[in-house]
Amino acid sequence: MTREAGMLYIYETPAETAKELADLIVEYGASAIESRGRFVVALAGGNTPKAAYALLAQAPYSNAIDWSAVEIFFGDERCVPPDHEQSNYKMAFDAFIGPLDIPAVHVHRMRGEDDPQRAAFDYRGVLLDVLGEEPFFDLVMLGLGPDGHTASLFPGQDPLTEDEQKVRAAYSESQSQWRITLTPSVLNNAEAVCFAVVGAEKAATLAAVREGPYDPTRYPAQIIAPPDGELIWLSDKAAAAKS
Ligand code: 6PG
């Protein structure tokens, strides 16, 4: 099966990669707001996007787009309370959602404090209420774990498990933690999906995911292939060293 691995853009440092990611966010945001009146984005969690999110809270990014026209969703969440240090929502709120005073009505967090199955069911409802039966994103942001996971689609399980649920609970063996995640059919229904990957520890996985044999149960990030959108990879030289 020929698959579109997506364009890989390589930058010298993690800081430069973060700037490029911030640029990409406001570029897609401005375009979406101009053509559709709003910017629907699913945020990545983890550490990599933090620096880019912090840039958004500063000029020129803070006044680059109308942040009140942004609908913020999350690609996944750890099953912890929203004020927990591991919360993806807290990370994004502290970095730019709070500083930019983005209206809470437009910030759709996954309720990590609730029972995982319940939280997944409820988030499906939010997704469909706000975006309709076939949720479509202007931009989906993702990271890549060293084990090949993305969002909370972990190796060892077919990432298409319960894909029709659009949102599902997932248990991370490596983190011994329940998670909530959007499923591939939702993650792939986007104008653009952008991975940001930095660090030498990701180099072998990045190469395997983009260039290796197609085995999405081993490398769940390989399931990401937006049929009607762009697949973009932003990485620093260290993470791209084996690509
Ligand atoms: C999470 C993320 C996860 C993350 C990767 C990379 O909740 O942790 O959604 O998929 O993007 O694990 O994480 P780092 O950016 O911290 O390396």
Over the stretch 112-122, which tens digit does the pLDDT of each residue have?
A: 999 999 999 99
Pair of tokens at residue 174: 């490596």
Length of the chain: 243
**How high is the pLDDT of residue 4?**
72
CA distance 42 to 236: 22
> What pLDDT does residue 90 have?
98
Return the residue whose CA atom lies nearest to atom 8 of ligand 1: 46
Residue 93 DSSP label: I
Q: Looking at the CA of residue 199, tell me the nearest atom of ligand 1.
A: 17
pLDDT for 92: 98
Q: Measuring from each residue's beta carbon to the nearest atom of ligand 1, which residues come in under 6 Å?
A: 44-48, 75-76, 78, 88, 143-145, 149-151
Domains and CATH numbers, the chain: 8-236 (3.40.50.1360)
* Paired strand residues for 190: 137
How many angstroms separate the alpha carbon of residue 35 from the centre of ligand 1?
A: 31
Half-sphere exposure (Cβ direction) of 233: Cα atoms closer than 13 Å: 27
What single letter denotes the amino acid at residue 153? Answer: L
> CA quadruple 165, 92, 13, 200: dihedral positive or negative?
negative
Residue located via tokens 């993650």: 187
Query: Global pTM?
Result: 0.98
For ligand 1, the distance from its centroid to the CA atom of residue 222, given in whole angstroms, is 15
pLDDT of residue 5: 79
Residue nearest to atom 12 of ligand 1 (CA): 145
**d(Cα 61, Cα 13) in Å, to the nearest integer?**
20
Residue ranges for the chain with pLDDT beneath 50: 1
Quick one: how many helices (H) and strands (E) in the chain?
Answer: 6, 9
Separation between Cα atoms, residue 17 and residue 197, nearest integer Å: 9
Q: What is the structure's pLDDT at 2?
A: 54
What pLDDT shows up at residue 1?
Answer: 46
Closest ligand 1 atom to Cα of 48? 15
Give the Cα separation of 182 and 65 in Å (integer): 26
Distance in Å, CA 150 to ligand 1 centroid: 7
Could you tell which of 43, 47, 86, 206 is best to mutate to test the pocket of ligand 1, judged by most ligand atoms within 8 Å of the CB? 47
Phi and psi at residue 199, to the nearest 5°: 105, 140
